Chains A and B, each alone.
Chain A
Amino acid sequence: MSTVSETARPVSRPVSRRRAFRKSRLGRFVTRSPFYLLVVIIFVYALFPFLWALRSAFTPDNELFSTPLQYFPNHPTLDNFTAALQASFFRHALLNSTIVAGSVTLLSLAIGSLAAYALGRFRFRGRSAVMYLMLSMTIFPQIAILGALYTMISGFRIVWFVHFPHLYDTRWALIFTYLIFTLPFTVWVLTSFMRALPRDLEEAAYVDGATPIQVFYKVLLPLIAPGLVTTGLLAFIAAWNEYLFALSFIQSPNNYTVPIAITSFVGKSGSAFQQPWGEIMAATIIVTLPLIVAVLVLQKRILAGLTAGAVKG
């Protein structure tokens, strides 16, 4: 462990003793150990609550809050998982949330990337104004716009006989209203990516006779792939976890989304005062685990997508 091996290097500059130490095995361990310590701390901080949720999901009701605290259940059980999955509104919620979050993400990326192209690669009067208009959408507190949105989706009259469609208690109400917070963020991030791209590839494409739209999806879009992936992921999760609008615009249990469904579980007593904590944790695991597995499985693809952009640039 403590062998100091010095490699003879045929270089013009003399090798300093400090650099030699840093490159040796002991040196590498010493300089990198704060690094590894940081990694361990981050792992524990990020992961421990999830592991605690995992432990709670497998713990029967009478051991969940027993004292002294049990770090591993004495009698692990699958009851919480079966109970969560048996609730039909929870199963429907998984489907509803997937449809809503997926649609919002695709819509945001489509609309947002077009807007980012305009705002990031063209110069015109009003460009800044549009950027800040988008931003202003996210500045209002949700509760402030809740009442107005509720009126809108309940089918209000815009002008004369033109009515807003009655979207209350449907998935469309959520898909439409979630755009209010996914779109500004998507536009801003993709615009910053678009702005950072150099001109040469684009100009070469124009010289080759490409139309602006072709330039958009053949040249620029692949280059900002890291931005698309990132904003898509963040938008999906934000829409997935949204609570207030889903609570206010949906009333039938079969139309619940995941956060509402999870907070609707009631314990065996039937009273709203009893939160069936084991079941809630089991439901959380069911909801979170596929996402984690998907990210792990798609690791290489995301990595390739992200680094390919760097190489090309």
Chain B
Amino acid sequence: MSSVATPVPPTGRRRRRSKLQRRQTRLAWLLLVPSLAVVAFVAIYPLGKTVYQSFTNQEFLALEPTKWVGLENYRELLHDTVFRHAVWKTIEFTLITVGFEFALGLAIALVVNSSFKGRGVMRAVMLVPWAIPTVVAAQMWKWMLDDTFGVVNDAGTRLHILSHSQAWISDPSTALAAVCAVDIWKTTPFVALLLLAGLQVIPGDLYEAAEVDGASQLQQFRKITLPLLAPAILVTLIFRTLDALRVFDVFYVFFGNRPDTQTMAIYNQDTIVGDGHVGYGAAISVAIFLIIALFVVIYVTFMRVTED
């Protein structure tokens, strides 16, 4: 799949690195300089500082000097049941939303990609949820789901889909479903747009040839669409998963720091800003980083396997 266009002379790399190869490499690194500069400033210093802080007992407002405590924060983290609960909650949320968003996003991308009247409008409609600022959208959905004034309960009871008004947000059994519905609504366009871009670069003549050969829609989808869309799917899934694991805004507007619905990011923010435990909070940040990195490793391994 990955075709590299650098013309490699026949006496290639195995013998000695040709002058051309070295020039290409130098050019590549030169092209990467702006990106790496951004990374150095905007990422490396903050990340480094966080890791350093995780080995101290720094408090936000305390006046005593900060002390080095080694792995103490991490030891405490291992016994932290609240954090463990937050991790499971976040993973639950991620699996549900990424699953639905992928299915729905793929469906929408296929619809928009196909030749049917009104797909232009569909494309614009599809952008709407993504275009509304998250904090506003979350508050709007909170009002829509309200058990007294909410339109969801009103329409639902009128249409007899619901037997009575539900307190979607207050009730712990429906809370997760409510927040998932909002997140799916908000971020499906992101998935759909990326998959659409991936679909658009698949050459049309492949499908025409398959049609002539008598392949059904399903066969075309399995043999042409899916394999060629695979890289776009994987990139989309990786970034959606990363975002879902760090979810904050929607949960914060809906639940604040309610213990039954805390995600990792909310627990992290609450510890650093609310309680003022900067050192312990930094350890939590590092733990979150490692958990998310684990997901990335899983995806990458999968990607490498499919490439071969």
Q: B49, A148: Cβ atoms under 8 Å? A: yes
| Alpha-carbon separation in the docked complex, A244 to B253 (Å) | 13
Shortest distance in angstroms between A97's beta carbon and chain B's nearest beta carbon? 10
Beyond A52-B144, A183-B35, A189-B194, whether A196 also contacts B201 by CB under 8 A is: yes
Say yes or no: B107 contacts A148, CB within 8 Å: no
Q: Does residue A209 face the partner (Cβ distance < 8 Å to B)? A: no
Report whether B272 and A143 are in contact in the complex, using a CB–CB cutoff of 8 Å.
Answer: yes
A199 B296 Cβ-Cβ under 8 A: no
Q: Tell me, yes or no, whether B197 is within 8 Å of chain A by CB.
A: yes
Q: Give the distance in Å from the alpha carbon of A49 to the alpha carbon of B281 in the complex.
A: 36
Given contacts A140-B46, A141-B264, A296-B121, contact A243 B7 (CB under 8 A): no
Residues of chain A within 8 A of B293, CB atoms compared: 136, 139
Q: Are A139 and B49 in contact (CB under 8 A)?
A: no
Does A53 lie within 8 Å of B140, measured CB to CB?
Answer: yes
Complex CA distance for A135 and B292, rounded to whole angstroms = 11
Q: Which of chain A's residues have a CB closer than 8 A to the CB of B278?
A: 147
Alpha-carbon distance between A193 and B232 when the two chains are bound, in angstroms? 8
Cβ of A299 and Cβ of B120 under 8 Å apart?
A: yes
Residues 235-247 of chain B: 1 if any A CB is under 8 Å from the residue's CB, otherwise 0?
1001100100010
Confirm or deny: A78 has a beta carbon within 8 angstroms of a beta carbon on chain B. no
Q: Are B154 and A115 in contact (CB under 8 A)?
A: no
Decide yes or no whether B215 CB sits under 8 A from chain A. no
CA distance A126 to B202 in the complex (A): 30
Task: Tell me how far the C-beta of B275 lies from the nearest C-beta in chain A, rounded to whole angstroms.
Answer: 13
Selected contact of B132 from candidates A125, A203, A288, CB within 8 Å: A288
Kindly state whether residue B96 has any CB partner on chain A within 8 Å. no
Task: Indicate if B88 sits at the interface (CB-CB under 8 A).
Answer: no
| A277 contacts chain B at the CB level, 8 A cutoff | yes
Interface locus among A2-10, A79-87, A266-274, A304-312 = A304-312
Closest to A233 in B: B193
- A204: shortest Cβ distance to chain B, in Å? 10
Q: Quick check: is B285 within 8 A (CB to CB) of the other chain? A: yes
Smallest distance from the beta carbon of B165 to chain A beta carbons, Å?
11
Q: How far is the CB of A307 from chain B (nearest CB, A)?
A: 6
CB of A152 within 8 A of CB of B41, answer yes
Instruction: Give bound CA distance, A130 to B34, whole Å.
Output: 13
Contact status A306-B154, CB under 8 Å: no
Instruction: Give the distance to chain B from A116, nearest Cβ to Cβ, in Å.
Output: 9
A237 and B201 within 8 A (CB): no
- Considering the complex, give the chain A residue whose CB is closest to the CB of B190: A234
Contacts of A192 in B (CB 8 A): 231-232, 235
Contact B43 A38 (CB under 8 A): no
Number of A-B contacts defined by CB within 8 Å? 291
> Which residue of A144, A179, A230, A306 has the most chain B CB atoms within 10 A of its CB atom?
A144
B194 partner residues in chain A, CB cutoff 8 A: 189, 230, 234
Given contacts A133-B39, A237-B130, A287-B133, contact A140 B50 (CB under 8 A): yes
Q: Are B107 and A38 in contact (CB under 8 A)?
A: yes
Q: Do B248 and A179 have beta carbons less than 8 Å apart?
A: no
A263 at the interface (CB under 8 A from B): yes
Q: Interface size bucket, A side?
A: 35 or more
How distant is the Cα of A122 from the Cα of B248 in the complex, in angstroms?
A: 38
Is A143 a contact of B140 with CB atoms below 8 Å? no
Measured CA separation A226–B112 after assembly (Å): 15
Q: Which of A121, A141, A275, A300 contacts B285 (CB 8 A)?
A: A141
Tell whether A46 is near chain B: CB-to-CB under 8 Å.
yes
| Contact A306 to B200, CB < 8 A, known contacts A49-B185, A141-B264, A203-B7 | yes
Of A46, A123, A145, the residue contacting B6 (CB under 8 A) is A123
Instruction: Answer whether residue B69 sits at the interface, using C-beta atoms and an 8 A cutoff.
Output: no
**Which of chain B's residues have a CB closer than 8 A to the CB of A114?**
31-32, 34-35
State in angstroms the CA–CA spacing of A140 and B7 once bound together.
39
How many angstroms between the C-alpha atoms of A302 and B122 in the bound complex? 14
Is B24 engaged at the interface, CB distance under 8 Å to the other chain? yes
- The CA-CA distance from A295 to B144 in the complex, in Å, is 27
Bound-state CA distance A292–B1 (Å) is 36
Chain A residues lying within 8 Å of B98, measured Cβ to Cβ, are none
The verdict on A195 contacting B128 (CB below 8 Å), with A39-B122, A140-B50, A295-B123 known, is no
- Whether B268 and A143, one on each chain, are in contact in the complex, defined by CB atoms closer than 8 angstroms, is yes
Given A177-B42, A212-B27, A67 contacting B149 (CB threshold 8 A)? yes
Contacting residues of chain A (232-289) with chain B, CB-CB under 8 angstroms: 233-234, 237, 240-241, 243-244, 258-259, 262-263, 275, 277, 280-281, 284, 287-288
**Residue pair B132, A180 in contact (C-beta under 8 Å):** no
Q: Which residues between 126 and 153 of chain B lie within 8 Å of chain A, taking CB atoms?
A: 126-137, 139-141, 143-144, 148-149, 151
A227 and B193 CA atoms in complex are apart in Å by 10
From B47, B122, B137, give the contact of A140 (CB < 8 A). B47
Check B144–A117 contact: CB distance below 8 A: no
Q: Are B25 and A124 in contact (CB under 8 A)?
A: yes
Asked whether any CB of chain A lies closer than 8 Å to the CB of B28, the reply is yes
Q: Give 8 A-B contacts (CB < 8 Å), ordered by A residue.
A: A42-B122, A46-B129, A49-B137, A49-B185, A124-B25, A176-B42, A284-B132, A296-B124
Among all A-B residue pairs, the 3 with the closest Cβ atoms: A144-B285, A148-B46, A145-B46
User: Could you list which residues of chain B lie within 8 angstroms of chain A, going by C-beta atoms?
Assistant: 1-7, 24-25, 27-29, 31-32, 34-36, 38-39, 41-43, 45-47, 49-50, 104, 107-108, 111, 120-137, 139-141, 143-144, 148-149, 151, 154, 185, 188-190, 193-194, 196-197, 200-204, 214, 231-232, 235, 238-239, 242, 246, 248-249, 264-265, 268-269, 272-273, 278, 281-282, 285, 288-289, 292-293, 296
Q: A188-B238, A195-B1, A240-B133 are in contact. List 7 more A-B contacts (CB 8 A).
A: A42-B108, A46-B128, A134-B35, A141-B269, A183-B39, A192-B235, A262-B136
